[in-house]
Chains A and B, each alone.
Chain A
Amino acid sequence: MTRTLLLSAIVTALTLWGLALAAIPLRTRPWWRHLGTGAAVAGWLVVVGAILGLWLDLGRPPLRTLGETRLWYAALVAGIGLALEWRLRLTVLRLPMLAMAGMFLALDLFRPDALDRTLRPALHSAWFVPHVATYLAAYALLGLACATALHGWWCVRRGELPAQAAAVPVLLVDLGLPLLTLGMILGAVWAKQAWGHYWAWDPKETWALATWVVYVGIVHFTRLRPDAHRTHLTLIAVAFATVCLCWFAVQWLPSAVVSVHTYTSD
């Protein structure tokens, strides 16, 4: 897959998701509702196709660079969002889901990575895809939780918080935390296989643990005070900053000088 083809796929997916977003205010009419859902699903299929094409072309899982993980992230946010929308008959997820997925996809449009076919020896492992994919699925759920929490706050500002808008962010965190746990253990077992250590206190690992700890606190708080909806929304929206820090921003921290985990531009 050439860079032009990849960028075309991104533009197509963004256009389709834009159409799905435009259809949201009109979804009381069946025709618009079906058009919106069709456009959202079609956009998701285009992104999945782009990932598969990239995988085949690069000859390695496209999970190495920041841009590649953003592509997966957009696909997972949209895929998980659509699946939950269908299974739980949700109506509040469409706008935050498409906004979040579209934002990450747009970042790939404006900051494209070099299509680097190389993969470091340590990443030639059966653990690579399960570990990173589990983490990205957890991040997708937590990102969706943040977006729906912000949407919930918007509802609060308008004076009414529907049951779904209050409960969905909590559910998403509840589903994301176990995946975060699994991803962390998978990473530790992989490290043991590759280097003989489960954990090396690399800044990226430390932030992964800090992120996990923050969400453990939030999940327990939602069980302790199930009716404190506004606090839930605030905590869930703010907590996503730790995910972003762990994912993108570790390389800017003073501790990154000793990190072997940060994404590089190459």
Chain B
Amino acid sequence: MAATTEKTGFWTTWALPQAFVSGAGLILAAWAVQLLYPALRLTLPAPPWNWPVAIAPVALALGLGWGWPRCPRLAGVASAPSAIAAVTGFALCLLPVAIWPQGTAAPAWLARLGLADALTSLPLTLMGALVLAILAVATGRRIRQREPGWLRFTFLHLGLITVMLAVAAGSPGIQRGWIEVSCDGPPVAVARTADGQVLRLPTALKLQEFRLESWPPRLVVGKAEAAVAADALLGPGTAITIAGLKILVAEWLPAAGVVAGIPRECHQPGAHPAARVQVDHAGGSVVGWLHPPGLFGEGLGVTLPDGRRVEMEPPRARRFSAVVRTAARPQEAVKEAVTIEVNAPLKLDGWWIHLLAYDQRLGAASRSVTLEAVEDRALPGVWAGLALVALGVILHGFAATAAFRGKIQVETATGTGQGAPR
């Protein structure tokens, strides 16, 4: 490489040094522009930059690669040195986001360098767009030239491009708003966006019922960070050995409230279980009640002579769902009741209504939930890209191992793989 550079000059060949110098220059220039114009906030793939910075250049690059596969300049753009320099630059621009919190939580020195909002920065956006454009040119050329192995790489690369373009293309059409619905309030037919705008939903929603299914609670022994959690979940008759203690549940109340320090049955939503336990320790045994703090009474635990404390953790949520009634208009009669869960959004005329949160203070007694309504028409594109990538992975797995076997056989037979390493 050094000899070639001396003979022909630095810029007359396109190899790793030239690609890295160009990439570094691009990043530094973009960083300088960002420092001079801090208000210039670009976020890919969000609008309005998705079209001018991502979708249009990528479509153009794909077309150019396909149309002029043998053009030397395009071959240079889509070469491995360009790809390596672009992904290295992209990785460098990602580092501030990866290491430090961003935005208002960013350290002051990072803000002074103009890197407190790296996600909306010009360098990251440009390098991301460059990576995609190089990938697109290479894919266009590959589809046209059909060199060995073209099919598997086309599936992998075209799948990736399809996913990214679908995300970017769907981005301006994405409408996202939050809805608070409750059992006691009126049906709600609008969602509020982050900037306070109103989105009309195709139906009015009202919470009919909130359901919270909890895991049985766990038992913990110790203090704060030094606490040890038991392997088994608590229940009637449970016998646990933990931290040298034998603990037996002598009495179990599935839902209890604490009255004057004693748990009593309490069949109300949000009531935690209580257990009367016998704790056998080295010096004898202690009997007492365990109850996690909650809506229906304070926390109860058993303190051992050595100062350690046996407690019951509040039961964790297993799954929660909202039964929501839908109606065409807020004042109209209810059409149907549907259940929304975390991984099972309600799909309604192109909208996906996700269940985001409930009133954790009230737990199972919560009478309101927060829903998020999202409309994204480009989702099928992402599915198509996913399918292409999956197909590419399978093809590549077989083809790469077969090619490797052939290569090793040849190298072993000819002896070209042996000897002093480079």
Expressed in whole angstroms, the minimum distance between the Cβ of B175 and any Cβ of chain A is 11
A25 at the interface (CB under 8 A from B): no
A40 to B56, CA, bound (A): 53
Say yes or no: A224-B101 contact (C-beta < 8 A), given A116-B229, A163-B408.
Answer: no
A134 to B292, CA, bound (A): 38
- Asked if A115 and B231 make an inter-chain contact with CB atoms under 8 angstroms apart, the answer reads yes
What bracket does the count of chain A residues touching chain B fall in?
A: 35 or more
A181 at the interface (CB under 8 A from B): yes
Say yes or no: A162-B417 contact (C-beta < 8 A), given A121-B319, A220-B83.
Answer: yes
**Chain A residues whose CB sits within 8 angstroms of the CB of B354 once the complex forms:** 194-196
**Chain A residues whose CB sits within 8 angstroms of the CB of B84 once the complex forms:** 217, 220-221, 224
- Asked if B420 and A171 make an inter-chain contact with CB atoms under 8 angstroms apart, the answer reads no
- Asked if B215 and A118 make an inter-chain contact with CB atoms under 8 angstroms apart, the answer reads yes
**Chain B residues whose CB sits within 8 angstroms of the CB of A266 once the complex forms:** 229
A228 to B421, CA, bound (A): 8
A117 at the interface (CB under 8 A from B): yes
**Chain B residues whose CB sits within 8 angstroms of the CB of A207 once the complex forms:** 98
A52 at the interface (CB under 8 A from B): no
Segment with Cβ contacts to B, from A8-16, A28-36, A100-108, A253-261? A253-261
**Chain B residues whose CB sits within 8 angstroms of the CB of A243 once the complex forms:** none
- Asked if A166 and B417 make an inter-chain contact with CB atoms under 8 angstroms apart, the answer reads yes
- Asked if A163 and B119 make an inter-chain contact with CB atoms under 8 angstroms apart, the answer reads no
The 10 A-B pairs with the shortest beta carbon distances in the complex, nearest first, are A163-B417, A161-B421, A196-B374, A224-B80, A115-B231, A125-B343, A163-B411, A118-B215, A178-B393, A213-B91
Further 19 A-B residue pairs, CB within 8 A, beyond A195-B372, A196-B372, A224-B84:
A118-B218, A121-B319, A124-B341, A125-B343, A155-B421, A163-B412, A164-B408, A167-B407, A192-B379, A196-B176, A196-B354, A196-B374, A210-B98, A217-B83, A220-B84, A227-B422, A229-B422, A254-B107, A266-B229
Chain A residues with a Cβ under 8 A of chain B: 2-3, 84, 87-89, 114-122, 124-127, 155-156, 159-164, 166-167, 171, 174-175, 178-179, 181-182, 185-186, 188-189, 192-196, 198, 201, 203, 206-207, 209-210, 213-214, 216-217, 220-221, 223-224, 227-230, 253-255, 257-258, 266
